Structure 1
Amino acid sequence: MKVADLSGAVLDFWVAKAEGHELVTDPATIARAAVGNGRAVLFRNNAGTLCIACAGGREWSPSTDPRQSHPIIERERIQLEPFPDVEWLAFERFDGRGEPPHDSPCRQYGPTALIAAMRARVASKYGEEVPDDIETPPITMDCLMR
């Protein structure tokens, strides 16, 4: 699957993988993470929604939630530029001029700034394509743990 085509939960899944979050199905591991005992982990709820379990757990959606994506954008120094015909261009800085080569997989476009930026993050870690097989079984837990 081309990174340039990723969107929604599939894009969010690959951002989580690029960020080093582990996708788990064990309810005990998820419960420990939800109360702040252990590393944040990803899981799918019964509806198939990708969620993150951490203290104050929340739905994981960096492609639409700036509270989750802005720390990534700042840490990875992802640059964003609006383009009238393709909407947004995002790329990671890695040379003295602040621009990647024109053929770099890290140069990604998207209909929103966050989608473009998260595609750039995934491409910087995995290249232009990611595997299609990301299916995991749903587990019995609510997505938002309070």
Structure 2
Amino acid sequence: MKKTVIGLSFLAAVSCASVSCDDDKVISDVELPESSRTFLSSHFNNINVSRIEKEGAGYSVYLANKIEIDFNSTGDWLEVDGEDGVSIPTGFILPQIVDYVEDNYPTTTINGIEKKASGFDVDLVQQDTDLVFDVNGGFVRVDP
């Protein structure tokens, strides 16, 4: 009996700890920063939003077409990522990056892009290839 009480107490403590550490909160679109809403309406206008989460200081938007968009606290996009095999729109990506992919990988499309301080990481759909670009959209290298 003592082991059962101790086990249940431990389970309860772990459950409470995991709930209190979870900062993710489902929110409505009106709670997104204006710049995020503008980005979505400009580049993903005809795609339904499945869920929006506030994650710490940032936001994650899940679209019905299996694309996830992460925004920082001010509403600037940080990452746009499609599930395996899902292409993302390219209207918000620097033209130099889009042109490089079209010229050098004409049989595939962009599956995801992440904005970093040093530039951009781009994932391609069919090639299982990651490309690195600098902040100006210049090609740097292929990441294995």
TM-score computed with the length of structure 2 as normaliser:
0.24
Structure having greater relative contact order (Cα 8 Å, sep ≥ 6): 1
Larger fraction in strand: 2
TM-score computed with the length of structure 1 as normaliser:
0.23
